[in-house]
Structure 1
Amino acid sequence: MSTTTTPRSGGEWLQSWDPENEETWDKALAWKTLWITTFTLTMCFVAWFLPSAIIPKLNALGYTFTKDQLYWMAAMPGLAAGLLRIVWMVLPPIMGTRKMVSLTTLLLVFPVLGWGVRVINPTAPYWELMVLAFLAGIGGGAFSGFMPSTSYFFPRKMQGTALGLQAGIGNFGVSLVQLLTPWLIGFSMLGFLGHSQSMKIAGKAPKEVWYQNAAFVWIPLILIGAAWAWFALKSVPVKANIRQQFDIFSNQDTWWMTLIYIMTFGTFSGLSAQFGLLMGNLYGSGNTDIVAGSGASARILVSGYSIPDPAAFVFLGPLVGAGARVLFSPLTDRMGGARWSLVSALGLIASIIYTIPALTPDTSSAAALQGGFTRFLWGMLAIFLFSGIGNASTFKQMPMIFERRQAGGVIGWTAAIAAFGPFFFSLGVGMLGATLFYWVGVAWAVMCAVIVWMRYARPGAPKPS
Structure 2
Amino acid sequence: MNTPPDAMVEIGHGPSWTPVCRYGDLTPGRGVAALVAGEQVALFRDTDGGLYALANQDPVSGACVISRGLTGSRDGTPVVTSPMYKQTYDLRTGACLDEDTPAGTLRTWPVRTREPGRPRPARTRTLPEWRPEDPDFWAATGARTARRNLWLSVLTEHIGFSVWSMWSVLVLFLGPEYGIDPAGKFTLTAVPTALGAALRLPYTQAVTRFGGRNWTVVSGLLLLLPTALMALVLRPGVSYTTLLLTASVAGVGGGNFASSMANINLFYPRRLKGRALGINAGGGNLGVPAVQLAGLLVLATAGAGHPRLLPLCYLPLIVLATALAARRMDNLPTRGERVRLREVAGDRHTWLLCLLYLGTFGSFIGFSFAFGQVLQVQFHDRFDTPVKVACLSFLGPLLGSLVRPLGGAWADRFGGARVTACAFAAMAAAAGLILATARAQLPAAFFAGFLALFVLSGIGNGSTYRMIPALQRAGTLAAIRAGADPHTAEATERRRTNALIGLAGAVGALGGVLINLAFRQSFLTSGNGDGAYAAFLALYLLCALLTVTVYREGRLAARV
Does the alignment reach a TM-score above 0.5? yes
Does residue 254 of structure 2 align to residue 177 of structure 1?
Answer: no
Q: Matched residue of 1:12: which SS?
A: coil
Are the structure 2 counterparts of residues 349 and 122 from structure 1 closer, same or farther at C-alpha, using a change threshold of 3 Å? same
Aligned to 1:384: 454
Structure 1: distance between partners of 2:444 and 2:382: 18
Aligned to 2:251: 137
Aligned to 1:448: 543
Structure 2, unaligned runs of 5 or more: 1-109, 113-122, 473-492, 524-528
Q: 1:95 aligns with which of 194, 206, 210?
A: 210
**Kept after mapping to 2: 8 A contact 1:283/1:307:** no
**Kept after mapping to 1: 8 A contact 2:127/2:330:** yes
Shift of 1:316: 0.7
Q: Which has the higher contact order (CA 8 A, sep 6+)?
A: 1
**Kept after mapping to 2: 8 A contact 1:185/1:213:** no
**Kept after mapping to 1: 8 A contact 2:359/2:511:** no
Are the structure 2 counterparts of residues 59 and 240 from structure 1 closer, same or farther at C-alpha, using a change threshold of 3 Å? same
Q: 2:511 aligns with which of 397, 421, 434?
A: 421
Q: Matched residue of 1:18: which SS?
A: coil
Q: Matched residue of 2:149: which SS?
A: helix
Does residue 306 of structure 2 align to residue 236 of structure 1?
Answer: no
**Bigger share in helix:** 1
Does residue 297 of structure 2 align to residue 210 of structure 1?
Answer: no
Structure 1: distance between partners of 2:284 and 2:446: 26
Does residue 168 of structure 2 align to residue 52 of structure 1?
Answer: yes
> Over residues 188-233 of structure 1, what are the superposed CA-to-partner deviations in whole Å (9 max), with x where a residue is unaligned?
6xxxxxxxx7x4xxxxxxxxx5332222111111101111111211
Does residue 498 of structure 2 align to residue 408 of structure 1?
Answer: yes
Query: Alignment identity in percent?
Result: 27
Instruction: Pick the structure with greater CA Rg.
Output: 2
Structure 1: distance between partners of 2:134 and 2:172: 51
Q: 2:399 aligns with which of 316, 320, 324?
A: 320
Aligned to 2:269: 155
Does residue 441 of structure 2 align to residue 345 of structure 1?
Answer: no
**Kept after mapping to 2: 8 A contact 1:116/1:215:** yes
Q: 1:17 aligns with which of 130, 134, 158?
A: 130
Aligned to 1:252: 348
Aligned to 1:66: 181
Map 1:183-332; keep pairs closer than 5 Å: 183-187=297-301, 199=304, 209-238=305-334, 239-242=336-339, 244-284=340-380, 309-332=388-411
Are the structure 2 counterparts of residues 287 and 397 from structure 1 closer, same or farther at C-alpha, using a change threshold of 3 Å? closer
Amino acid corresponding to residue 22 of structure 1 in structure 2: P
Q: Matched residue of 1:152: which SS?
A: helix
Structure 2: distance between partners of 1:307 and 1:85: 32
Q: 2:553 aligns with which of 455, 458, 461?
A: 458
Structure 1, unaligned runs of 5 or more: 1-6, 189-196, 200-208, 289-305, 363-368
Q: 2:191 aligns with which of 47, 62, 76?
A: 76
Amino acid corresponding to residue 536 of structure 2 in structure 1: G
Amino acid corresponding to residue 290 of structure 2 in structure 1: L
**Kept after mapping to 2: 8 A contact 1:74/1:422:** no
Q: Matched residue of 2:136: which SS?
A: coil
Structure 2: distance between partners of 1:408 and 1:154: 13
**Kept after mapping to 2: 8 A contact 1:165/1:325:** yes
Q: 1:430 aligns with which of 499, 517, 520?
A: 520
Are the structure 2 counterparts of residues 374 and 187 from structure 1 closer, same or farther at C-alpha, using a change threshold of 3 Å? closer
Q: 2:412 aligns with which of 313, 333, 339?
A: 333
Amino acid corresponding to residue 377 of structure 1 in structure 2: F
Structure 2: distance between partners of 1:286 and 1:81: 33
Structure 2: distance between partners of 1:93 and 1:24: 22
Amino acid corresponding to residue 459 of structure 2 in structure 1: I
Map 1:20-35; keep pairs closer than 5 Å: 20-25=133-138, 26-35=142-151
Amino acid corresponding to residue 445 of structure 1 in structure 2: Y
Structure 2: distance between partners of 1:462 and 1:328: 16
Aligned to 1:358: 437
Amino acid corresponding to residue 15 of structure 1 in structure 2: P
**Kept after mapping to 1: 8 A contact 2:217/2:322:** yes
Shift of 1:97: 0.5
Shift of 1:177: 0.9
> Over residues 393-452 of structure 1, what are the superposed CA-to-partner deviations in whole Å (9 max), with x where a residue is unaligned?
012111111133311211111011111123211211222452222222222212211222
Q: What TM-score do you get using the length of structure 2 for normalisation?
A: 0.70
**Kept after mapping to 2: 8 A contact 1:284/1:307:** no
Structure 1: distance between partners of 2:205 and 2:386: 47
Aligned to 1:206: none
Amino acid corresponding to residue 98 of structure 1 in structure 2: R
**Kept after mapping to 1: 8 A contact 2:355/2:507:** no
